[in-house]
């Protein structure tokens, strides 16, 4: 029906927005007091109107007119019912004065607290940015970050895997706005945790974490996590505080928006120093933003741990914290935190999966966590265990200490593919591999294997090699037939304690075969970690692992000065295979500072092997080999130093390699062009294996890595 505008007519809306919305959406119902009739007769004649379209009065009037119309007079087919125009109903509930006052009071309290902090610390902290090294002056108080700041660019979690974060501060730097709280006054939740940075900065740090950290999208189901982050802090599904603090700490590696701890002065501190906190106390500097958040993550995680609340998220926070410690080369914290993570996973029941629980009858359930409600939740728990396992095993590769959880106590399914994890696809156990499956490391189910699966398998391989070296003597003493060697005397060993050559044992031969065949067992589509200039982070690291495992396995028995030493040949071949992988990723546009932190260790291992052969070449006065090996070592050192521009751990490895070169070879190598891949020929190796006349200058990689006080040893 045509509508006649009546602006002068007052309009009242329902106080219930749901009722108002329902009435406004109904096509045949008029609003209350919206008069209607032919020529407004309902109102003029003061007749009751039922507000229908058309109203009952108009229908009766039209029917009477049709029935009593003179013959030949045309009549309208429908009643002409007009009604007043009414403005649209506003369904928005007005904010009550009480809520408005509370919001204003909270904001006033925040501003007063910020002013007090500013007055108590007039000299703001200045720290060079990790990447651009540009000086900025900002207040490191967590509550001051992200409130009234404008993020000029912020990435999304769905970025290309080879994309790199901005290398200049102004591309991701938070600029201080004139309007303090332009964001917080409208969006800040009244109960926002004061220890967290503002929502805008927090979201930025979460974004860069998911964009650039290689394992973020496996530790969390990204869509689920981002949805929970949009909830109010009081919501039970809002992420736990230790998780958010830990993400803020590790996210500082990928943005210039916050401060990170400066690099230690390795002219005063040994790069292999275990207890860096001794020197940290002497610095007398305030904690950087990253250090603050790491401490808050640890404190809140410990509190929830003792209360038994959010235990799975406590595990996730500990894993992220260990990544932070690992990236910064904080040896003590790495060792304790990685061990805590893997041990916490045991009472949570994450190291095992039905039906492989203990047959012991006890009061405690296999897991103190409630059963997973969804496939995504179940696979997230499984991924978290494997990431905790990988952290502890990879870190343990650099020392001769016992591990925190035996491989025989791990009876867990391997992770599903990444696409299945994101989609929440259920994959039955019969179609998957178990950690205790026969030929686990050499059999890959193409339908259930991706780069992350190979990454976990490579970690298991390194763990098995370490366990063999660690337990060989005790097993041999106990008469274990698997370590009984066919050789009675190991001529390579100079120490009388090493009277048995493990290379003749069945366990060593089997392990050596697995190490040699591991990469060849990869599915055809997963044998090259670099495709079309795109680097698969997990696959690249998995390709490095068998070469590192070979060095760890054969290094104690390698004698580079003994002609025909198979172990020496194998460690040199592995070192040069790692060198080729470094060159492969170097020749792309990929930012190598985004590689997994374990890659720096792998490169460092290759560098140490090459240094060992360089000294042998110097003692043998082999000019050609000296030039080649110096060029190779320089290239490895350059790559590690490049990663050290972002990751302090790599900076330490570069300094350690420099010290090793100067100590055993006299000076740093000069840059020389290289040709890749590097061939390994018998004629080339022969010169390296010749006995040197300067036996007092010999360097044993095994001895150098196990010298007293050395933390980064190979075992």
3-4 and 82-84 beta bridge pairing: parallel
pLDDT score of 69: 79
193 and 328 inside one domain: yes
Q: What angle do CA 448, 428, 360 make, to 5 degrees?
A: 115
pLDDT score of 94: 53
pLDDT score of 669: 55
Task: Inform me whether the pLDDT recorded for 272 exceeds 60.
Answer: yes
Q: Which of 521, 370, 396 is nearest to 459 (CA)?
A: 396
* 139-143 average pLDDT score: 48
Q: Which of 243, 212, 391, 228 is nearest to 317 (CA)?
A: 243
* 327-353 average pLDDT score: 94
pLDDT score of 438: 87
130 and 265 inside one domain: yes
The mean pLDDT value of the chain amounts to 79
Is the residue at 71 inside a domain? yes
Compute CA 299 distance to the chain's CA centroid, rounded to the nearest angstrom: 21
Structural contact between residues 464 and 511, judged by C-beta atoms closer than 8 angstroms: yes
Kindly state the helix (H) or strand (E) to which residue 639 belongs, with its residue range: helix 623-643
Q: Which residues are within 8 A (CB) of 287 and not within 5 positions of it... i.e. 6 or more apart?
A: 140, 261, 295
pLDDT score of 690: 45
Burial of 96 (0-12, 13-18, 19+ CB in 10 A): exposed
Which two three-digit tokens encode residue 656?
Answer: 């350690």
pLDDT score of 613: 93
Q: Which residue has the higher pLDDT, 4 or 624?
A: 624
Kindly state the helix (H) or strand (E) to which residue 665 belongs, with its residue range: helix 648-665
Q: Which residue has the higher pLDDT, 502 or 686?
A: 502
pLDDT score of 266: 80
Cis bond leading into 116, ω under 30°?
A: no
Q: In sequence order, what are the beta bridge partners of 530? A: 535
| Dihedral angle computed from the Cα positions of residues 692, 693, 695 and 696, in that order, rounded to the nearest 10 degrees | -140
Structural contact between residues 398 and 714, judged by C-beta atoms closer than 8 angstroms: yes
Is the residue at 345 inside a domain? no
Residue 668: band (very low, low, confident or very high) from pLDDT cuts 50, 70, 90: low
226 and 202 inside one domain: yes
Q: Which residue has the higher pLDDT, 125 or 441?
A: 441
Of the three residues 276, 309, 336, the one that is the final residue of a domain is: 336
Q: How far apart are CA 353 and CA 131, in angstroms?
A: 43
pLDDT score of 283: 80
Most confident of 115-119, 290-294, 678-682: 290-294
Residue 673: band (very low, low, confident or very high) from pLDDT cuts 50, 70, 90: low
Kindly state the helix (H) or strand (E) to which residue 629 belongs, with its residue range: helix 623-643
Q: Which residue has the higher pLDDT, 646 or 173?
A: 646
Rounded to two decimals, what is the model's pTM? 0.72
Of the three residues 22, 57, 84, the one that is the final residue of a domain is: 84
Structural contact between residues 203 and 154, judged by C-beta atoms closer than 8 angstroms: yes
| pLDDT per position as a tens digit, 209-231 | 999 999 999 999 999 999 999 99
Q: Which residue has the higher pLDDT, 89 or 267?
A: 267
| pLDDT per position as a tens digit, 526-574 | 999 999 889 999 999 999 999 999 999 999 999 988 778 999 999 999 9
Is the residue at 373 inside a domain? no
The percent of residues above 70 in pLDDT, for the chain, comes to 72
Task: Inform me whether the pLDDT recorded for 365 exceeds 90.
Answer: no
Strand segments, DSSP code E, in 141-210 are 149-151, 174-176
Using CA atoms, how far residue 117 sits from 6, 110, 494, 685, in Å, is 58, 11, 64, 65
Is the residue at 357 inside a domain? no
221 and 183 inside one domain: yes
Is the residue at 291 inside a domain? yes
Count of helices and strands (H, E) across the chain: 24, 9
170 and 26 inside one domain: no
113 and 59 inside one domain: no
Q: Where on the phi/psi map is residue 632: left (φ > 0), alpha (ψ -120 to 50), or beta?
A: alpha
What long-range pairs does 263-270 form, CB within 8 A, spacing at least 24?
263/648, 263/651, 264/652, 266/652, 266/655
146 and 268 inside one domain: yes
Q: Please, where are the H alpha helices in 501-622?
A: 506-517, 537-554, 566-586, 597-620
pLDDT score of 78: 80
Rounded to 5 degrees, what are φ and ψ at 411?
A: -130, 70
Q: How far apart are CA 705 and CA 660, in angstroms?
A: 11
Using CA atoms, how far residue 253 sits from 29, 194, 248, 264, 292, in Å, is 60, 23, 9, 16, 14
pLDDT score of 82: 72
58 and 167 inside one domain: no
Of the three residues 336, 358, 378, the one that is the final residue of a domain is: 336
Structural contact between residues 338 and 392, judged by C-beta atoms closer than 8 angstroms: yes
Q: Which of 658, 646, 673 is nearest to 133 (CA)?
A: 646
pLDDT score of 630: 92
Is the residue at 654 inside a domain? yes
Query: 13-27, 372-386, 437-451, 600-614: which range is least confident on average?
Result: 13-27
Q: Please, where are the H alpha helices in 397-505?
A: 418-423, 451-478
Q: How far apart are CA 219 and CA 575, in angstroms?
A: 31
Q: How many CB atoms lie within 10 A of CB 15?
A: 9
Cis bond leading into 677, ω under 30°?
A: yes
* 88-111 average pLDDT score: 65
213 and 312 inside one domain: yes
Q: In sequence order, what are the beta bridge partners of 127? A: 136
pLDDT score of 675: 53
Total domain count, the chain? 3
Please compute Rg for the chain using Cα positions: 35
Residue 134: band (very low, low, confident or very high) from pLDDT cuts 50, 70, 90: very low
Is the residue at 186 inside a domain? yes
pLDDT score of 671: 52
Task: Inform me whether the pLDDT recorded for 204 exceeds 70.
Answer: yes
pLDDT score of 221: 97
Q: How far apart are CA 508 and CA 515, in angstroms?
A: 10
Is the residue at 351 inside a domain? no
Using CA atoms, how far residue 634 sits from 619, 657, 674, in Å, is 19, 10, 10
Residue 278: band (very low, low, confident or very high) from pLDDT cuts 50, 70, 90: confident
Q: How far apart are CA 661 and CA 650, in angstroms?
A: 16
Residue 145: band (very low, low, confident or very high) from pLDDT cuts 50, 70, 90: low
pLDDT score of 95: 55
**Structural domain of 43:** 3-84
80 and 104 inside one domain: no
125 and 19 inside one domain: no
| Dihedral angle computed from the Cα positions of residues 558, 560, 565 and 571, in that order, rounded to the nearest 10 degrees | 60
179 and 326 inside one domain: yes
The percent of residues above 90 in pLDDT, for the chain, comes to 53
């Amino acid at each position: 029906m045509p509508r006649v505008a009546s602006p002068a007519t007052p309009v009242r809306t329902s106080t219930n927005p749901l009722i108002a919305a329902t009435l406004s959406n109904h096509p045949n119902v008029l609003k209350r007091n919206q008069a209607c009739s032919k020529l407004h007769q309902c109102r003029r004649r003061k007749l009751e109107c039922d507000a229908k379209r058309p109203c009952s009065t108009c229908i009766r009037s039209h029917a009477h007119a049709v029935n009593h119309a003179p013959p030949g007079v045309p009549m309208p087919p429908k009643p002409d019912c007009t009604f007043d125009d009414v403005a649209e109903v506003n369904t928005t509930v007005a904010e009550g004065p009480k809520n408005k006052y509370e919001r204003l009071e909270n904001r006033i309290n925040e501003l007063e607290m910020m002013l007090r902090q500013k007055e108590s610390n007039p000299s703001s902290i200045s720290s060079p940015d990790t990447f651009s090294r540009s000086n900025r002056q900002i207040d490191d108080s967590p509550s001051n970050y992200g409130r009234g700041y404008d993020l000029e660019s912020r990435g999304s979690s769905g970025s290309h895997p080879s994309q790199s974060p901005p290398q200049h501060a102004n591309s991701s730097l938070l600029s201080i706005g004139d309007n303090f709280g332009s964001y917080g006054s409208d969006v800040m939740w009244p109960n926002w945790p004061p220890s967290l940075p503002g929502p805008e900065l927090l979201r930025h740090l979460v974004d860069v974490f998911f964009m650039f950290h290689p394992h973020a999208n496996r530790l969390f189901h990204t869509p689920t996590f981002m949805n929970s982050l949009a909830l109010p802090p009081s919501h039970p599904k809002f992420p736990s505080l230790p998780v958010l603090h830990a993400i803020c700490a590790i996210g500082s590696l990928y943005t210039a928006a916050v401060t990170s701890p400066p690099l230690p002065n390795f002219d005063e501190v040994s790069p292999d120093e275990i207890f860096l906190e001794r020197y940290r106390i002497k610095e007398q500097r305030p904690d950087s933003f990253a250090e603050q958040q790491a401490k808050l993550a640890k404190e809140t995680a410990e509190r929830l741990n003792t209360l038994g609340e959010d235990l799975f998220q406590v595990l996730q926070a500990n894993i992220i914290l260990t990544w932070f410690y690992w990236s910064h080369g904080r040896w003590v914290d790495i060792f304790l935190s990685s061990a805590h993570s893997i041990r916490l996973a045991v009472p949570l029941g994450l190291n095992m999966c039905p039906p492989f629980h203990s047959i012991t009858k006890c009061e405690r359930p296999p897991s103190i966590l409630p059963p997973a409600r969804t496939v995504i939740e179940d696979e997230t728990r499984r991924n978290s265990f494997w990431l905790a396992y990988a952290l502890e095993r990879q870190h343990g590769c650099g020392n001769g200490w016992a591990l925190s959880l035996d491989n025989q106590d791990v009876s867990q399914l391997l992770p599903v593919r990444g696409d299945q994890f994101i989609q929440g696809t259920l994959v039955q156990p019969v179609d998957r591999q178990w950690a205790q499956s026969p030929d686990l490391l050499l059999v890959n189910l193409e339908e259930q294997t991706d780069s992350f699966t190979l990454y976990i398998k490579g970690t298991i391989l390194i763990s098995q090699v370490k366990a063999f070296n660690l337990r060989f003597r005790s097993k041999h003493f106990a008469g274990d037939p698997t370590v009984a060697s066919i050789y009675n005397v190991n001529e390579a060993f100079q120490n009388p304690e090493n009277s048995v050559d493990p290379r003749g044992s069945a366990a060593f031969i089997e392990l050596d075969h697995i190490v040699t065949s591991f990469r060849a067992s990869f599915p055809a589509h997963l044998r090259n970690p670099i495709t079309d200039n795109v680097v698969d982070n997990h696959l690249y690291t998995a390709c490095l692992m068998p070469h590192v495992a070979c060095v760890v396995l054969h290094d104690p028995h390698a004698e580079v000065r003994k002609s025909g030493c198979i172990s020496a040949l194998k460690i040199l071949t592995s070192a040069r295979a790692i060198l080729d992988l470094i060159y492969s990723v170097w020749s792309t546009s990929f930012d190598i500072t985004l590689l997994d932190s374990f890659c720096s260790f792998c490169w460092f291992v290759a560098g140490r092997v090459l240094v060992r052969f360089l000294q042998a070449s110097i003692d043998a006065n082999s000019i050609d080999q000296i030039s080649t090996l110096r060029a190779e070592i320089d290239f490895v050192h350059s790559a590690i130093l490049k990663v050290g521009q972002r990751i302090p751990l790599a900076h330490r490895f570069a300094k350690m390699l420099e010290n090793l070169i100067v100590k055993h070879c006299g000076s740093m190598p000069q840059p020389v062009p290289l040709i890749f891949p590097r061939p390994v020929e018998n004629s080339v190796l022969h010169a390296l294996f010749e006995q040197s006349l300067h036996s007092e200058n010999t360097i044993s990689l095994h001895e150098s890595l196990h010298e007293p006080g050395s933390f980064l040893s190979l075992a």
